[in-house]
Structure 1
Amino acid sequence: MFNLSESKYGLHIVIIIIFLLLSLFTVMPVLNMILLGAMIAYGIKPVANRIQSKIKITSISIFLAIIVVIIPLILLFIYVFWETAVFADMFFASHNLSVSSGIDLNLAINTFVQALPVELQGFIKPYLGLLTSGVHEALTYIFNYAIRFIRKFSDVLVQLFVLICSIYYFTRDGDKVMEYIFVFIPKEHRSFFERTLDDVANVLKSIFYGHFLTAIVIGLMGGVGYYFLGYKFALFLGIVTGIAQLVPIFGPWIVYWALAIYAFFVAGDIAQGILTILWGFVLSLSDMYIRPMLASNYADMPSLILLVGFMAGPYVFGIVGFILGPLILGIAYAVIKSFKEELEKDKLEIEKLENNESDNY
């Protein structure tokens, strides 16, 4: 390591540290997009390399890789919003409610309650006022959030622009970034950092294969099952199931239990409700098999790290915290794990030296 008081590079390092801190302060508002871009770039890099082997032009290869990976995600979000709007329109139309002319909240709730079985109506009616108040507060919160979102739309555009730029430049120049970092690492410590980077790569693969890919598989299974069970919006329900799969506390059960309750008490189809619950158990049991199978070849992280990362990440980084939370905690775990292995290695070497010295005596 450099000694700032003795090294001729002391002043240089002080200046670098000052400007690094100023740079961090400057990019702090979009730091989450930069980190997310770096993570996505890691996944896009192999796709870009494969395309580049055919096209030979780096920029075009990266742009095509971004389109291949990002465009389906954008279309997925558009589809989810579209299906939500269609579902809401069908609900309002079926109950003779009009959004454009204004919705009587009390009338909407009363209409919904009257559609329930008589036994359930008797249970809900004493709490009807409380239910109306709760729904009103929830809608107020949603509308206020939408207004704040619209006001900050320019900020959202800036963050999306930073995200796309980060993905492009990290995909193109990610290797150069690592070269800059390794310049400042003493030779005796490079093996530690190389092992740490390998562990970080395994963490990324574990998060993708063990969680995101598992969510995709469970979502597809759920959608197919809901279709054969006769539910409308089966594809939409499958996507919601996959998203719920990403959240450890909730999981897919929150979707299939809601559908089962709807089948039992609203549609009055007991057979459909029972089959929905059984299919839900199949989904949950499949998760126990699919997740270890996909992630077993990569980092073996404690489940608590991912749980805390998924739940705490959104509080710090917003919606992208579902990705950045477990990623950052996973990297911290990988660094500590590498350091522990380094200490154990040094301890074994010291013990060997001591044993050799004792043998010489």
Structure 2
Amino acid sequence: MEKDLKEYITPPIMLIVVLLAISLMFIFPVLNMIILGAILAYGIRPIAFRIQSKLKFSSISILLAMIIVLIPLILLVAYISFIISGFLVGFFSSNPNLDMDSVISQLSTYIPQNPFLDKNSIVPTIQSAGKSVLTYLVGKLGSFANITLDLFILICSVYYFVKDGDNCYNFIKSFVPKEYNDFFERTVESVEDVLKSIFYGHFLTSVIIGIFGAIGYSLLGYPYGIFLGVITGILQLIPIFGPWPIYWALAIMDAIGGNYPRVIVVLLFGFFLSLIDMYIRPAISSHHADIHPLILLIGFLSGPLVYGIVGFIVGPLILGITYAILDSFRKELQESK
């Protein structure tokens, strides 16, 4: 045993371990951007290669592919911001004498009584929470330099992972002993299946549900029907939510306004959205990896706690990839028996 350890614990190995540990200390603050860059590069590579078959210039093809993928995301964020800002401006302009303290006091009457929160402390508590949120947002604006650095690293990571992804794969594979090549290749295939399952089975499902929602809400006569569809698609990404908060909120608003026929219709439409999710998601995901919903749920909920908003993507992917590697190792052990 001691002889085996001496064969592995050599000065070059120790030097490599120390350097890797030091390097990880430098990389860790931006590790989430690097991981996200690798994930996005996986989806952008096919687009870049297709463009490259026409242009024959790899750098230009990669940049065009990144623009094609990022423009819809930028437009989506811009659209959501535009609608929300327009709504707030219209609301406050139509209510110039609005007393926020009075509004908060009225809202507090609808809050269920809590033995730890009496009537005299409800309003100050809400105001304190609002101030905390505003302080957090101001703090985020103050860290503009860090956000810019993260975005720069993300863009660079996407570019170089798309351009040199094969070289990175071959470099890692060169360290794998020959007797473990099959396990390594099977693990890589499992990881690709997980990525495809999450990309197609969840993001594509959210897009489809969002489109159905936008069409349905618009036909039912709701203002901002497209915006409601976009929010429905975003909520669909989070397993614990789905489309139900939107259609239940609309149903409650219609019930308060006395529009009872539309209450029934929007609830039926909402149940339809929830039901088609049960068919669309398995139909798309079944062609790739079969990931247990609990794994994705934990990833979606715990990811933002570790990596911030990026965790909504990184969390389920890391847990899914970990599951794929463990499953591949389990199959390897079963075959060796």
TM tier, shorter chain? over 0.9
1:222 is matched with: 213
Query: 5 Å matches for 1:52-91?
Result: 52-91=52-91
Q: Distance in 2 between matches of 1:3 and 1:172?
A: 40
Query: 5 Å matches for 1:224-263?
Result: 224-263=215-254
Q: Judging changes above 3 Å, is the alpha-carbon distance between structure 1 residues 212 and 134 closer, same or farther for their aligned structure 2 residues? A: farther
Q: Indicate whether 1:274 and 2:269 are aligned.
A: no
Residue identity opposite 2:102 in structure 1: L
Q: 2:180 aligned to 189, 195, 199, which one? A: 189
Over the matched positions of the two proteins, sequence identity in percent amounts to: 49
Secondary structure of the equivalent of 2:231?
A: helix
Residue identity opposite 1:312 in structure 2: S
Secondary structure of the equivalent of 1:6?
A: helix
Q: 1:180 aligned to 171, 187, 191, which one? A: 171
Structure 1 residue ranges without an equivalent (≥5): 98-102, 114-120, 348-361
1:172-219 CA deviation, whole Å, 9 max, x = no partner? 011111111111110000100100000000000011111111111111
Q: Distance in 1 between matches of 2:90 and 2:197?
A: 41
Q: Indicate whether 1:285 and 2:286 are aligned.
A: no
Q: Distance in 2 between matches of 1:329 and 1:171?
A: 23
1:3-23 CA deviation, whole Å, 9 max, x = no partner? 66337x933332222211111
1:67-88 CA deviation, whole Å, 9 max, x = no partner? 0001110111111111111111
Q: Kindly tell me the number of residue pairs found equivalent between the two proteins.
A: 331
1:273 deviates by: 1.8
Q: Indicate whether 1:162 and 2:153 are aligned.
A: yes
Q: 2:101 aligned to 96, 103, 106, which one? A: 106
1:161 deviates by: 0.5
RMSD: 2.3
Residue identity opposite 2:16 in structure 1: I
Contact 1:4 / 1:11 at 8 angstroms: preserved in 2?
A: no
Q: Distance in 2 between matches of 1:273 and 1:233?
A: 17
2:38 is matched with: 38
Q: Distance in 1 between matches of 2:38 and 2:18?
A: 24
**TM norm structure 2:** 0.92
Residue identity opposite 2:252 in structure 1: I
Larger radius of gyration: 1
Q: Distance in 2 between matches of 1:128 and 1:4?
A: 68
1:108 deviates by: 3.6
Secondary structure of the equivalent of 2:7?
A: coil
Contact 1:105 / 1:132 at 8 angstroms: preserved in 2?
A: no
Contact 1:195 / 1:338 at 8 angstroms: preserved in 2?
A: yes
Residue identity opposite 1:280 in structure 2: G
1:132 deviates by: 3.6
Q: Distance in 2 between matches of 1:179 and 1:12?
A: 22
1:272 deviates by: 1.9
Structure 2 residue ranges without an equivalent (≥5): none
Q: Judging changes above 3 Å, is the alpha-carbon distance between structure 1 residues 337 and 125 closer, same or farther for their aligned structure 2 residues? A: closer
